[in-house]
Structure 1
Amino acid sequence: MARGRRTLAAIFAVVTLASGCASPDEPTPPAASAPSGAFPVTVGGVTLGERPDRIVSLSPTATEVLFAIGAGPQVVAVDDQSDYPSGVPVTDLSGFQPNAEAISAQSPDLVVIANDINGIVKALTTLRIPVYLAPAATSLDDAFRQWRELGTLTGHPADALVTQVGTEIDKLVADLPQRAEPLTYYYELGPELYSATSTTFVGALLGRAGLTNVADPADANAAAGGYPQLNQEFLVKANPDLIFLADVTCCAQSAATVAARPGWDTMTAVRTKQIVALDDDVASRWGPRVVDLVRAVTDAVAKVPA
């Protein structure tokens, strides 16, 4: 799975330029709303005459959402990167190299994907298979919209999940101590020093914690699509107060490997040991576990003396 996680990080940094290990402790998902049964429905360009009973998910985020809203029993196959919650019907289907014939062999009445790679939407549509495209969310509201649309398409309203997650995030942010000056941070997608600016989904989430992103000036004109590749000199000069590592599992990065980088021992985050290891998967998805990401961030921020 490490190779897949590295690929997912590259999707954030590389695919965006051209136009992201399950947690050991799995929280109990919120109680799902009862199926609405309101069909036919049309959402996101997809029309379903009846509730889908054979769903194929080629998006780890969508897989998490489907199970969180109670549509898990309808999911018959997921891609090789979907690893949460435990027990999902993992197959060798790929969201990075989707194969229409292999997908069709699952006899799906709904396919959910995150990227229209190699014309897969057209290929599946030609086979009369409904496809819902749920690309990487650009904001929390955008993620919530996708959850609600998946709820409508599956007959399991997602309003309760949206409310629960939104409320938890609001509380985590509200409980942070007030500071005279905002803390700065560097968010690492990979040891190649790709990062995410405040214009991205994850950057916006961290911004809610009152943090200033040191990567923002590196993509001021949005040429990198919010995912610039930084360099050692830039980061040493930026001197962030906090470093968040989203490349722990994929790339074996840690506080020790960061501290060993040339010149990084002068950084405030390194000297004060404010290097935060994140769960790679949680950090790269926009499903219900965004709460875990925000909690990891707010916990780290709260530990820095005001």
Structure 2
Amino acid sequence: MSRRLAVLLLSSLLVLAGCASHEQNEDSTAKPDTEATFPVTIGSVTIDSQPTRIVSLSPSATETLFAVGAGQQVVAVDSYSDYPKEAPHTSLSALSPDPEAIAGYRPDLVVVAADNTGLAAALAKTGTKTLVMPDAKNLDEAYAQFVELGKATGHQAEGESLANQTRSDIDKIVAGTPKPAKPLSYYYELDQTYYSATSATFIGQVLGRFGLTNIADGNDPSNSGGYPQLSAERILQADPSLIFLADSTCCGQNAQTVGARPGWNTLTAVKQGHIFALDEDIASRWSPRIVDLARAVSDAVTRAEQ
């Protein structure tokens, strides 16, 4: 299995991305919002006062924190958090978080996608709260996290507004997309060894909004945790109408390279030019940029119906 895919599966659909290192800014503590109401409880975590020094170890959470207006409160983000550009990028690892390195930023709140290493317990010894924002399994869970991160940072109204606006935007995109005369099938490629994502995954749920049939589902979409490795023979036999590539930037895949694979020139998607490269970050995160993902899928369906 490729390292890129291992990161995707083991750390909340993270993809490999470049990172830049910034010096720790001791003067970056954000001023508290006097209008925010605290304490607030998110899940099992109670946050006593508005956090002013946040460390985010989740690319999806990083994007959302900035989108709800909490960007000035963020003092450090992990090496995979490459958006937005103004985020204070560091070499902190989201896969193998180092409590000592994180504590060096003097955070009062740490946001992670998972805690499989006892990070929360280690940071609790320093008085730091750890908020786990796990993989969103569907759009509703993503919207709920927008609200929760807003609430946790003193921007509840902004979080609710972001959730409502994102939901509305996606609903409008779906409603405005042509309905295929007959169901369109698709193959979603994570890497060149034919790992894919079924309709049981977050990405599969988004594409499912457009009435597309996922060839990776088989008899059980939850098989292999929703990320099965297909064979070239299975893909050729399924003959998908559309091919979505989530390995264009990392691995140089495009319509030409796909069409050059043995036997793939016979596929409907290849013959009709319905191969679509997706932004790999947008396609792997449950952040507000899922609107851009929905728009890309809509454009693909529209093109296929022309």
Q: Which runs of 4+ in 1 moved over 2 A?
A: 6-16, 125-128
- Counterpart of 2:8, as a letter, is F
- Counterpart of 1:161, as a letter, is L
Describe the superposition over 1:205-231 as per-residue Cα deviations: whole angstroms up to 9, x where unpaired.
Answer: 0000111101000x6173301111101
SS of 1:57's partner is strand
Taking the aligned partners of 2:215 and 2:10, their CA distance within structure 1 comes to 20
CA shift for structure 1 position 12: 3.4
Taking the aligned partners of 2:34 and 2:198, their CA distance within structure 1 comes to 38
Sequence identity, in percent?
52
SS of 2:224's partner is coil
Give the structure 2 partner of residue 31 of structure 1: none
Taking the aligned partners of 1:13 and 1:294, their CA distance within structure 2 comes to 22
Give the structure 1 partner of residue 21 of structure 2: none
Give the structure 2 partner of residue 27 of structure 1: none
TM-score, length basis structure 2 = 0.89
- Counterpart of 1:252, as a letter, is G
Give the structure 1 partner of residue 210 of structure 2: 209
Give the structure 2 partner of residue 184 of structure 1: 185
Describe the superposition over 1:128-177 as per-residue Cα deviations: whole angstroms up to 9, x where unpaired.
Answer: 31001112110001111111111111001201111111111001110112
| CA distance 1:13–1:73, shift in 2 (3 Å) | closer
Taking the aligned partners of 1:255 and 1:201, their CA distance within structure 2 comes to 25
CA shift for structure 1 position 119: 2.3
Is the contact made by 2:200 and 2:221 (CA closer than 8 Å) also made in structure 1? no
Give the structure 1 partner of residue 140 of structure 2: 141
Give the structure 2 partner of residue 276 of structure 1: 276
Task: Please give the root-mean-square deviation of Cα atoms over the aligned residues, in Å.
Answer: 1.8
CA shift for structure 1 position 36: 5.0
CA shift for structure 1 position 118: 2.3
- Counterpart of 2:87, as a letter, is V
Picking from 5, 8, 11, the partner of 1:12 is 8
| Structure 2 residue 257 is matched with structure 1 residue 261 | no
Taking the aligned partners of 1:242 and 1:35, their CA distance within structure 2 comes to 51
Taking the aligned partners of 1:283 and 1:221, their CA distance within structure 2 comes to 19
SS of 1:304's partner is helix
Give the structure 2 partner of residue 126 of structure 1: 125
Give the structure 1 partner of residue 80 of structure 2: 81
Taking the aligned partners of 1:256 and 1:115, their CA distance within structure 2 comes to 38
Taking the aligned partners of 1:303 and 1:35, their CA distance within structure 2 comes to 50
> What are the residue-to-residue correspondences of 1:221-240 with 2, within 5 Å?
222-240=222-240
Give the structure 2 partner of residue 286 of structure 1: 286
Is the contact made by 1:12 and 1:227 (CA closer than 8 Å) also made in structure 2? no
SS of 2:226's partner is coil
CA shift for structure 1 position 99: 0.2
> What are the residue-to-residue correspondences of 1:161-180 with 2, within 5 Å?
161-180=162-181
| CA distance 1:35–1:296, shift in 2 (3 Å) | farther
CA shift for structure 1 position 269: 0.4
Gaps of 5+ in 2: 19-32
- Counterpart of 1:269, as a letter, is A
- Counterpart of 1:215, as a letter, is A
Give the structure 1 partner of residue 245 of structure 2: 245
Is the contact made by 1:265 and 1:271 (CA closer than 8 Å) also made in structure 2? yes
Give the structure 2 partner of residue 51 of structure 1: 50
Higher mean C-alpha deviation, range 267-276 or range 80-89: 80-89
Taking the aligned partners of 2:227 and 2:9, their CA distance within structure 1 comes to 5
Is the contact made by 2:198 and 2:222 (CA closer than 8 Å) also made in structure 1? no
Taking the aligned partners of 2:131 and 2:165, their CA distance within structure 1 comes to 24
Describe the superposition over 1:50-83 as per-residue Cα deviations: whole angstroms up to 9, x where unpaired.
Answer: 1000000011110000000000000000011111
CA shift for structure 1 position 13: 4.0
Taking the aligned partners of 1:244 and 1:49, their CA distance within structure 2 comes to 44
Taking the aligned partners of 1:86 and 1:12, their CA distance within structure 2 comes to 22
Taking the aligned partners of 2:151 and 2:66, their CA distance within structure 1 comes to 14
Give the structure 2 partner of residue 106 of structure 1: 105
| Structure 2 residue 84 is matched with structure 1 residue 66 | no
TM-score, length basis structure 1 = 0.89
Is the contact made by 2:75 and 2:88 (CA closer than 8 Å) also made in structure 1? yes
Taking the aligned partners of 1:271 and 1:181, their CA distance within structure 2 comes to 18
| CA distance 1:304–1:36, shift in 2 (3 Å) | farther
